[in-house]
């Protein structure tokens, strides 16, 4: 099993004048350390307007800095939002190619369609169109990397023959992933040959079902790119400490803050007509996160907090469920930078070697 650090870049109130600069510098230091101790991936979201919850609105800029500071860790979008009002697919292809060059071929592209009205309304995105926009764009991007000239005529985009430059270092192109929550999405991802980024906090039992659906889809894959990226990466909220009780006492409330804030982001859907394609995601926030206590999340495996032995036992069940990579969510809430650094060190010293 592989391991990636997963970031929202969270900055709870109150904010001092240097809060954002300080947090970004902390993230850079954390990634430097993760690169040294054996983490395989660094991932961040792309979010907009989500004050406190996520201050990561221009991840591609951060990735450029990380590409020059690190040596081996892979750099992943989790995810680039593909409705055109956020990102035109040509610009996504161009940015990823440049990053792949600068990082010497260490880029993975995850994509998605956006789920919060806070963001969609801010960019005038029609929720009824996001799935179709995503699918058209995700089929275009690998062709831009492998065809010259590239042209396209579709529902949302018409592009005359053009050279989309530069081309990425990785051949035929960087691995591609998609964010998934509902069961149908896991099967569809497999059929499209995309890796899965699972951000649900449903725990081990749910993962067994979803991974099974994905692997069934893979059997019938017609990949959107040049190859099948047969991988499932799953989110787990993690804090590793020397002492079992202390790690849970310190990490638990910050993990709970993250879950509570995520639930609040979906409040604007109340009183709005929820498109069928968003029904599951909106409902899941209530059933998988909002109604559960800290103890529930610990018991399900959605949270792994404690000493390294405790965390290994939790993550073994992810491995048994067929998960290929753990998205380690360690920078949660207002957890101190020093504690995150200690958690990364201990995880790299004890947990990663166990699974390698």
Using CA atoms, how far apart are residues 187 and 196, in angstroms rounded to an integer? 10
Does the pLDDT of residue 102 top 80, yes or no? yes
Exposure b/e, 143-167, CB count within 10 A at least 16 = b? bbbbeeebebeeebeebeeeebeeb
pLDDT digits (tens, 9 = 90+) for 65-89: 999 999 999 999 999 999 999 999 9
* Range 324-352 average pLDDT: 98
Alpha-carbon distances of 126 from 131, 212, 265, 275, 341, rounded to whole Å: 10, 32, 18, 10, 40
Cα–Cα separations (whole angstroms), residue 299 to 206, 208, 317? 13, 16, 12
Give the rounded percent of residues in the chain with a pLDDT score beyond 90: 92
Burial 206-225 (b: 16+ CB within 10 A, else e): bbeebbebbeebbeebebbb
CB under 8 Å to 4, separation ≥6 — which residues? Answer: 39, 40, 41, 42, 43, 74, 76, 233, 325, 326, 327, 328
Distance CA 230, CA 263 (A): 30
pLDDT value at residue 292:
85
Mean pLDDT score, 334-352: 98
Q: Phi-psi category of 102—alpha, beta or left, where left has phi over 0 and alpha has psi -120 to 50?
A: alpha
Per-residue pLDDT at 288: 59
Cα(227)–Cα(291) distance, integer angstroms: 40
* 122-143 mean pLDDT: 98
Residues 229-279: pLDDT tens digits? Answer: 999 999 999 999 999 999 999 999 999 999 999 999 999 998 888 998 898
> Is pLDDT at 144 greater than 80 in this prediction?
yes
> Residue 289 pLDDT > 60, yes or no?
no
Percent of the chain clearing pLDDT 70 (strictly above): 99
From CA 256, how far away is CA 354, in angstroms rounded? 28
**What is the C-alpha separation between 111 and 95, in angstroms, rounded?**
14
Using CB atoms within 10 Å of the CB of residue 17, give its burial: 0 to 12 exposed, 13 to 18 middle, 19+ buried. exposed
Inter-residue contact 78 to 234 (CB < 8 Å): no
> Taking residues 45-52, what's their average pLDDT?
98
Spell out the residues 6+ positions from residue 239 whose beta carbon is closer than 8 angstroms to its own.
247, 248, 250, 251, 252, 254, 255, 304, 305, 330, 332, 335, 339, 343
91: number of Cβ within 10 Å: 14
The pTM of the full predicted model, rounded to 2 decimals, is: 0.96
What is the reported pLDDT for 290?
Answer: 58
Any idea which of 21-35, 68-82, 288-302 has the lowest mean pLDDT?
A: 288-302
CA distances to 152, 195, 303 from 39, rounded to whole Å, are: 38, 19, 19
Which single residue is written with the structure tokens 């804030």? 261
Q: Are strands 195-198 and 150-153 parallel, antiparallel or unpaired?
A: unpaired
Instruction: Give dist(CA 62, CA 158) in Å, integer.
Output: 30
């Amino acid at each position: 099993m592989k391991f990636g650090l997963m970031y929202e870049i969270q900055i709870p109130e109150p904010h001092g004048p240097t809060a954002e600069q300080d947090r970004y510098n902390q993230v850079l230091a954390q990634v430097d350390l993760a690169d040294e101790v054996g983490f395989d991936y660094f991932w961040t979201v792309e979010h907009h307007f989500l004050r406190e919850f996520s201050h990561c609105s221009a991840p591609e800029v951060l990735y450029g800095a990380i590409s020059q500071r690190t040596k081996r860790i892979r750099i992943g979008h989790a995810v680039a939002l593909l409705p055109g009002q956020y990102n035109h697919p040509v610009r996504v292809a161009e940015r990823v190619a440049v990053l792949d060059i600068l990082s010497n071929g260490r880029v993975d592209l995850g994509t998605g369609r956006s789920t919060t009205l806070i963001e969609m309304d801010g960019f005038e995105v029609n929720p009824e169109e996001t799935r179709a926009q995503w699918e058209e764009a995700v089929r275009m991007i690998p062709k831009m990397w492998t065809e010259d000239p590239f042209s396209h005529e579709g529902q949302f985009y018409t592009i005359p023959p053009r050279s989309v430059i530069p081309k990425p270092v990785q051949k035929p192109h960087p691995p591609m992933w998609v964010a998934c929550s509902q069961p149908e999405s896991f099967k569809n991802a497999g059929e499209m040959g995309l890796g899965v980024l699972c951000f649900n906090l449903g725990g081990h039992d749910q993962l067994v079902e979803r991974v099974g659906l994905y692997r069934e889809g893979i059997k019938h894959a017609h990949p959107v790119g040049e190859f099948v990226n047969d991988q499932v990466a799953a989110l787990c909220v993690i804090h590793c400490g020397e002492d079992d009780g202390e790690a849970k006492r310190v990490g638990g409330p910050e993990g709970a803050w993250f879950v509570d804030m995520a639930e609040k982001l979906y409040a604007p859907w109340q009183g709005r007509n929820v498109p069928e394609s968003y029904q599951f995601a909106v409902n899941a926030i209530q059933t998988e996160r909002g109604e559960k206590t800290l103890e529930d999340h610990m018991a399900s495996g959605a949270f792994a907090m404690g000493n390294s032995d405790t965390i290994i036992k939790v993550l073994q069940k992810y491995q048994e469920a067929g998960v290929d990579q753990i998205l380690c969510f360690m920078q949660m809430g207002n957890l101190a930078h020093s504690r995150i650094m200690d958690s990364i060190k201990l995880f790299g010293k004890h947990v990663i070697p166990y699974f390698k």
